[in-house]
Every structure is written in structure tokens, then in C-alpha cells.
Amino acid sequence: MSIKDKIIFGLLGVLVVAGVYFQLMADDMKSRMSELNVKDTEHLDVIDKEFREGLRQFDLKFEGRGKHIRKAQEDIVSNTDLINVKATELSDNIEEVQYNLDEYGRVTNKKIDRTNNDVADLQDSFDSQRRLTGRKISDLEQTLTQVQNQLKELLDPEKKKK
């Protein structure tokens, strides 16, 4: 047997040993996987049982609450009716206040218009009185000037005589 044959047989032996090792590992993993699958199934059964039991207990707790739910529904309906009544009353009050505000606005505008008219009349009267007073003062000034001129004339001839 040559060295070449020995190397080939050696490699073949290593490959057989590696194949056997991997086969044993694969069998071990398969057995562990089947064991895990069995435990998983058992665990799911336990969890499903606990879950179903929990649901049953909740169902028992909520069966007695039907009358409370009906009472709550009736309270909701009565509260809705009360809200509607109060909303109607509030709407009526708002309309009344709006009417009163409109009426107050109209009355106030009339008073303001009358006041503005009175102020305009007073302004006209004042302007008329001012013009009249200005004319009187002007007339008085003219009269005063005339009187002064006449007085000078009267006094001047006397000065000439002296």
C-alpha cells in the first residue's frame, strides 16, 4: 500500500467518523426537539385551561352586573333629557337677553341722536349769539369811536378859542 492510498483511507476514515458524529448529534437533537414539542403541547394545555378558567370567573362576575348596566343606561337617558331641558331653557334665556340688548341699543341710539341734535342746536345758538355779540361789540366800538371823535371835535374848537 502506498502513501497515497494510506492518506486516502485516512481521509475516508476521518469522513466516516465525522459522519457518524454528526448523525449521533442529529439524532440527539431530534430526540430533544420531540421532547420539547411534547412539553410545549402540555404547557399550552395548561395555559389554555387557566385562560378558560379565568374567562369563566369573569363571566360569573359580570353576570350579576346586568341590572347595574340597565340602571346606568336609564341614568344616561335621564341625564340626556335633563341636558336637553336645560339647553332649551338656556337658549330661551339667551334669546331674551339678545332681545333686551337689541332694545337697549335702539333706545341708546335714539338718545345719542337726540343728544347730538341738541348739541348741534346749542352750537347753532351759540354761533348766533357770538355773531350777535360780535356785531354789538363792533357797533359799540363804532359808537365809541364816533363819541371820541365828537368829543375831540368839541374839545378842539374850545382849544382854538383859548
User: 39-87: per-residue pLDDT in tens?
Assistant: 888 888 887 787 777 776 666 666 566 777 788 889 999 999 999 999 9
8-12 contact pairs (CB < 8 A, 24+): none
The overall pTM is greater than 0.85: no
pLDDT, position 144? 94
Question: Which of these, 98, 101, 100, 102, lies nearest to 90 by C-alpha position?
Answer: 98
